[in-house]
Amino acid sequence: MKPLVTIERFSLFGHVMALFFGLAGLLLVLPNPALIATLPPFGQSLFGWSMAGGGVAYILLGAIAVALYARRVLGTQLWLGFMLPAIGLSLSSELLGTSTGFPFGHYGYLNGLGYKIAGLVPFTIPLSWFYVGLSTYVLARAGLENRGVKGVVREIGAIALGALLLTAWDFVLDPAMSQTPYPFWEFQDPGEFFGMPYRNLTGWLGTGALFMTVASFFWRGKDLKLTRSQLTLPLVVYLVNFGFGAAITIAQLDVRYWIPTAISVALGVVPAIAFWLSAKPALPPVVETASASPTLSPPEVATVAAATK
């Protein structure tokens, strides 16, 4: 196995496990301080580190896994053609949002997601826009391609559906990260939609559509032709990140928040799985056999034998 493929798989596994342990810490350990007190000193130190750096770790591992996947499966041009606009434009949007309230509403980041760029936006945030955004865009584009959609319709459709899947994730992410007992950001003006301003949702949709539009210029005319196995990593990344937000939202908020969770499933999870299922299964490898000598019929064998005597 090539070293980069090994790193890709290790990063994906680490990403999933970091989300799992982060979920266990937020839902089981932190609400029970007595449980923390029973841990040995090493365990308490490890838990403290995981709570302080777990958010950074899972985002970095997710970004590494998706970046290596994109380079391997899509090629360097498509990988960089998506990653650079995604990181640059999402960071610009986040800096504008935390400074002016546009386009997401007035909000600010708390601690737990790493060093803040300009004291406002954790450096991990644009990385999360990149790795989830690329996952949704690839799923949407491949899904349309597998249904025979081509040309401009495919380009526009991939942008619209990719941005929609990305925004659907926010229906569970924002409540989980801003309204639970252990938030990572907060809105200064809680909105009408389950504590979120409506413009937060339009801001997500617009930001995703913006960097996907820029990326589409680098991807134009490219047929992905991805098999189901090649789409598995984007699907897994999308589903585990959805599951992380949904589990926290359902466990720590009241029953009203089943509504945005159901919307997230309908607009995000179901289409993502449908796009994955639309791809063809991986074809079995073609085994080429060495060309053998022509087979001689019995009369020919006899003739050859007679000629050699």
Asked whether the whole model's pTM tops 0.75, one would answer yes
Residues 6+ apart with CB under 8 A from 161: 136, 140, 143, 144, 271
**What's the gap between Cα 8 and its chain centre?**
14
Q: What is the pLDDT of residues 14-70, one digit of tens each?
A: 999 999 989 988 898 888 878 777 878 877 777 777 777 889 999 999 999 999 999
Q: Tell me what pLDDT residue 285 has.
A: 58
Residues 6+ apart with CB under 8 A from 183: 110, 177
Contact indicator for 172, 264 with CB cutoff of 8 Å: yes
Q: Tell me what pLDDT residue 1 has.
A: 58
Q: Nearest CA to 66 among 44, 85, 91, 83?
A: 83
The rounded distance, in Å, linking the Cα atoms of 76 and 105 is 36
Longest dimension (CA), the chain: 102
Six-digit token pair at 97?
């949002």
Percent of the chain with pLDDT over 90: 76
Contact indicator for 162, 208 with CB cutoff of 8 Å: yes
Alpha helices in the chain (DSSP H): 3-24, 33-37, 41-73, 76-100, 124-146, 151-178, 198-219, 232-252, 258-264, 270-278, 298-308
Q: What is the pLDDT of residues 137-161, one digit of tens each?
A: 999 999 999 999 999 999 999 999 9
Kind of pairing between the strands at 107-109 and 121-122: unpaired
Kind of pairing between the strands at 185-187 and 107-109: antiparallel
Of the listed ranges 41-45, 181-185, 240-244, 270-274, the least confidently predicted one is 41-45
